[in-house]
Structure 1
Amino acid sequence: MAVYTTVTRQDLEPLLSNYDLGQASDLQGIEGGIENTNYFLTLEQDGQQQQYVLTLFEELGEEEVPFFIELGQWLAERGVPVPYGIKDRNGIALHQLHKRPTILQPRFTGRHISQAEIRPRHCAAIGCALAQFHLAGEQFFLKRQAHRGLFWWRRESARIASHLSAEDAQLLKAEVEAFDQLREHIGDQLPQGAIHGDLFHDNALFDGDRINAILDIYNAATGYWLYDLAIVANDWCCNPDGSIDPAREQALLSHYGQVRPFCAAEYDAWPVLVRTAAMRFWLSRLLPWLGLEQDGSESGDKKLKDPDELKRILLARRATPTQLPR
């Protein structure tokens, strides 16, 4: 979460007039994140205060946002603790503020845990929660191709090659080809549906060892569930040198598998998909790090993340493959 567009309490009056939730008494920008503008919003009604999150979409167009609105409501109705757009008195959740798609969401309690705090019990909890997310979204009626999916990484890995060392360019190329081969041979055997797509540790809120919320579903798409799990494993189970902590990874995988058992093809796919997941985020960090956006423009004022962190994970995954628990 972050603040790229300034919003005042006065700006909110036309939006809040569509709701029966009260008047704004406090508005605080939320730092962190790299894609949307977010505020904590306190509304007061009949002497009672309630907190919400106001989100302005900075990168997604108005035609793209309904997928996420519908997905959030679908998952929330099925008991998955995710943010969702609150409908106004006319049943409308999507509004506009400063010419940006805007939604009002409930605010969840809990705290983020740092990467240094992550223990096997946290990985077990997120494994169960992600499996529940996948099963709840299995019959979701909308489909979406990932914004940074296979067509994107094919194109961008080729375009960025001249900006990299020959070794790094070849590494990217090899991983893109490895996924293509996997998809060709067993892709139709891998379960898929709605995925989160960005479930790093800072996108979950904990109350003790219990997950209170899974946040930031705005990279969600239709994809392989196992790829989504690989994204989680690469972040929640990694050491500072990029190596994988076996205890954390096995806790993640075993508890996920208890909720949604793995199929035969997923055992073959796992060593490749963890590399694919590392490659995708390495590439998405490389582009702004080198001063390039996906369309070739300058990266602007977006917050940068170190791409070498994901390169280390990718190299560790290549050097020491792991397996799903049986």
Structure 2
Amino acid sequence: MERDIRDIVIMGTGPAGYTAAIYSGRANLKPLVIEGSQPGGQLMITSEIENFPGFPEGIFGPELMARMRQQIIRFGVEIAYGSVQDVDLSRTPFSLSLDDGTEIVTRSLIVATGANAKWLNIDSEKMYRGKGVSACATCDGFFFKQCKVFVVGGGDTAMEEALYLTKFAAEVIIVHRREEFRASKIMSLRAGKNPKISTMLNQVVDEILGDGHKVTGIRLQNVLTGEKTEHQCDGVFMAIGHAPNAELFKGQLRIDDYGYIETKKTSTETSVPGVFACGDVQDYTYRQAITAAGTGCMAAVDAERFLESIR
């Protein structure tokens, strides 16, 4: 029995995936959106968003994603729950296998799988993950009331994490391996003005210290002198960036040295015709909710034009 072939499938439900679904739904392409392992994407673990157009008073990440989800449902978009375990882009139509055994066949594919937080990958970090080590201040900050915590990183993410943690922690120390932060000026200034926040520059994490049950401290190493120092603390938050979720496509799509899916200039088209990528899985420069949404729109338009060309 011949399988139903869909016109368009969208992998991911962050700002990029939802926006692609809105546009392709309005184009009457009847898209199927595969929810993935983190429905709503990174904004589900983001507190207040102040720079998304249309929300002058700001909006919380989960609320914004809930509104986007309502919008795609309004346009009749179908949602498949679960994650893609395997994909075959070697021939058309493309085939995808979900973790529940479901097989999906589609003429075009939009990859909006986003990115995940990076870790230091040291043994002590793994040992105390969930026991004082975290990569999400909005998820775990509540548990560190009146505590001393360290935030590792030097970009906007680190500043945002540190500022959020001041709502609960008594003291927040930002550790960065360089002399200067990579964060935007406005975020650096905001963190610098907060009396609860201090910084330790030219330092890297050598070890997370604990008693076997929870974090009790951190050992840092000065990158200039090599000197190691130990500091008491109750928690360590990693804010050292994100890794794109593109492992599934290695060997099938062209991927750059940093793991991002490559797309053609002024387009979301990948190295395989009919496959498009948008959001943080292909954007290593901007990595913002609004730019992810913008490329989601582009991907939907590109996919619609592709489908028209093969009819």
- With the length of structure 2 as denominator, give the TM-score of the two structures: 0.22
- With the length of structure 1 as denominator, give the TM-score of the two structures: 0.22
- Higher CA-based Rg: 2
